[in-house]
Amino acid sequence: MYLGHELVPGTPLPLSITVYEPDNLRMSPAVGTEPNDVVAALEDALRRLATPFVDTTRVIGQDFRALRTIARTRESWSPEQSGTSEPAATSRGAVPFAWTADAQREASNTQVGVLRVDYWCTSPMSKDITLVVMTAPFGTIENAALSLFDAIIGAASYSSTA
């Protein structure tokens, strides 16, 4: 899901939300189905498997618990990444300045901070884990993005499709 939320009026912030529900992402049979037990076992597993500096925070959803992990990266752009050095016919007339040699050189030298937040969510009355990945550019406004992401998770709940 893509969301263009305005944190400042007139300036949309592009956010993306992806939900993964793989069948094989489950906790050990030794762990009960109590959400706090499942998230505690998950937190312990992530600390053992990941780098020693993994920052985990517990977040509460409507009917589940989640473990939040954060990754901060920097990305740049080049025409080669898009698979072509020529603009699409529809953008050539609209933004011709973006495809000049100077603009392409500047774009490839510019890095944008990207904030990726993973929510490892328990499933109600289950040992299953659902992974919700939220990303936003402009990592410098991390607190605002984290508050929004946490609010989305806090308002989320599971529903039966039966």
**CA pair distance 64, 84, nearest whole angstrom:** 44
DSSP label at residue 14: E
Burial of 120 (0-12, 13-18, 19+ CB in 10 A): buried
Report pLDDT for 141. 77
Three-state SS sequence of 61-81: CCCCEEEEEEEEEEECCCHHH
Report pLDDT for 101. 73
From residue 134, alpha-carbon distances to 53, 129, 162 in Å are: 20, 16, 27
Report pLDDT for 35. 77
Residue pLDDT, tens place only, 30-54: 666 677 788 888 788 777 776 655 6
Residue pLDDT, tens place only, 100-116: 777 777 777 777 788 89
